[in-house]
Amino acid sequence: MRQEGKLVEEFGFDPTTKTMSVVWKEGATTTILTKGAPESILERSTRIAMGKEETTLSRQKKDQIFTAFESFAKLGLRVIALASKKITWNNQSREDAESNLTFIGFVGIADPAREEVGEAIRVARDAGIATIMITGDNELTALAIAKHIGLIERGEEVITGAQFAGMRDEEKKRHLATTRVFARTTPEQKLEIVRLLQQQGHVVAVTGDGVNDALALKQADVGVAMGITGTDVAKEAAEMIVTDDNYATIVEAVAEGRTIFDNMKSSVKYLIGCNVGEVVAILGGALLGWPFVLTPIQILYVNLATDGIPALALAVTPKHHAVMRRKPRTGKGLFTKFDLRWFAEVSLLTGVSTLLAFWLGWKTGNIGVARALAFTVVILAQQFIFWDIAAGDRQLLNPHVLKNPWLMLPFAIMGIQVLILFLPGLRAIFSLAPTTTQLLAVSALITSVMLITTAVRKRFLRHFYYQHS
């Protein structure tokens, strides 16, 4: 067909009229070929093709066609109407070219949602992420798809672009809180919806693949373009590109992002909690006029081994089973007031326990025994802190917590500590003196107060230490 004729003019898709047309010349005949939204094509058509004949398109016939179109749309099909008109081409305006058309028919295109999308929407909802469909499709098609994927529930409404345009800003904001589907929208309306959501304090991510989505993608806090079907304009306007065009991938990326943040925070939190506790012990001993509570080699070992290794383990902890069952963070800082209370608790307990153990050992008259007990208490306290952080806001013996393989790491570190205490060669390296099992047991008992306070905190003081959205 292309070899037999030539393209004279092309009118690209107009998001306002929902139509696009080409002017095609074949021999001595010039024809305008138009496609678009059924309601737009019917509005511009005055005749209908019946086989090789054309007849007047009456209002009754238009109503019959529209009813047939609605039945297709209710099945979730994207319906495109087709029309044409023979014309003498004199560079007419688009409005003239797309008037008095002859209606040819319409086609229904099935574009089913992926099976995993429904589950992804449910997961996002549990995570405090509201999914909103803003589409140029007909409201019946949008409604059918939304119901199929579980985006819309019974009783919820669909708002069209025309309805949205007739609302005041306050009314629009009110509907944004509950409406999950906006149909027959223009690019400008997509942009306006994003701006209104941002004015309400929401962080907005927008997905899109076409030129019509570029404005909203650019305005969004996070613009996400489709990698397969996305246009170059959409990709340039976005901050991220989804290579598989799958909404479920975006939700999974949110889960991975939360896991990375949680692990980073846990690692830093562990290091701060442990090191501040050491500082409290060392400064406390100095203020009391005691000898150094820990020697440089002991501090170096603690910082490299019993600080560093557990911190790395926390950084690679597997994804928490409930990572997508909590609301999004609202603050931009790494730590909250709840974390500061936790720092104060564990640092004070670590420092006081270490000083008590040192004092018990010093009463024997042997500074080596005092440092052996203090050294041991510091390491035990750090392992208890590790378990505390690894368990999150749950008790250590929670079945979900026990699935974390890194919970066994403290036992390995404590095993090494036993070797350091009882092997003469290692004792000499760390400047430790032999100590009795009774003193070690008492020191361990003093440190175990941290396990008790952790259990009490998570059971009775959750509101004081843990933030729940």
Residue 150 DSSP SS3: coil
* Cβ-contact 102, 32 below 8 angstroms: no
pLDDT at position 469 is 42
Going residue by residue through the chain, which has 469 residues, state the pLDDT in tens, using 9 for 90 and above: 556 788 999 999 888 888 999 999 988 899 999 999 999 999 999 999 988 889 999 999 999 999 999 998 988 888 999 999 999 999 999 999 999 999 999 999 888 888 899 999 999 999 999 999 999 888 999 999 999 899 987 667 899 999 999 999 999 999 998 899 999 999 999 999 999 999 999 999 999 998 989 999 999 999 999 999 999 999 999 999 999 999 999 999 999 999 999 999 999 999 999 999 999 999 999 999 999 999 999 999 999 888 899 999 999 988 887 889 888 887 778 888 888 999 999 999 999 999 999 999 999 999 999 999 999 999 999 999 999 999 888 888 888 888 889 999 999 999 999 999 999 999 999 999 999 999 999 999 999 999 999 998 888 776 665 555 4
Q: Which fold has domain 259-465?
A: Calcium-transporting ATPase, transmembrane domain (1.20.1110)
What letter does residue 407 receive in the DSSP assignment? G
Count of C-beta atoms within a 10 Å radius of residue 73: 21
Q: Report whether CATH 3.40.50.1000 matches the domain 117-249.
A: yes
Predicted local confidence at residue 406, as pLDDT: 92
Tokens in use for 243? 């290579």
Residue reference for tokens 């409604």: 143
Query: Which three-class secondary structure state does DSSP give residue 253?
Result: helix
Task: Supply the DSSP symbol for 364.
Answer: T
What does DSSP assign to residue 211? G
Residue in this structure with the two tokens 């609301």, named with its chain if needed: 327
Indicate if 259-465 has the same CATH topology as 6-109: no
Q: How far is CA 139 from the centre of its chain?
A: 28
CATH topology of domain 6-109: Calcium-transporting ATPase, cytoplasmic domain N (3.40.1110)
Q: Give yes or no for a contact between 383 and 406, defined as CB atoms under 8 angstroms apart.
A: no
Query: Would you say the C-alpha torsion 153, 156, 158, 164 has a positive or negative sign?
Result: negative
**Based on C-alpha coordinates, what's the Rg of the chain?**
34
What single-letter DSSP state applies at residue 128? T
Calpha distance 147→76 (Å, rounded):
10
Structure tokens at 370: 């005092």
Q: Check residue 65 and report its DSSP letter.
A: H
- Return the residue matching tokens 């007739």: 166
Under the phi-then-psi rule, with left for phi > 0, alpha for psi from -120 to 50, and beta for the rest, what region is 36?
A: left
Spell out the domain ranges in the chain. Answer: 6-109, 117-249, 259-465
Cβ 149 vs Cβ 121: under 8 Å: yes
Let me know: does 162 contact 139? Beta carbons within 8 Å. Answer: no
pLDDT tens for 166-211 read 999 999 999 998 899 999 999 999 999 999 999 999 999 999 998 9
In the numeric block, the tokens 């506790």 are attached to 277
Map 268-331 to HEC letters: HHHHHHHHHHHHHHHHHHHHCCCCCCCCHHHHHHHHHHHHHHHHHHHHCCCCCCCCCCCCCCCC
Instruction: Give the C-alpha separation, 338 to 400, whole Å.
Output: 23
Residue identified by tokens 């140029």 is 136
- The partner residues of 206 in beta bridges, in order of sequence, read 223
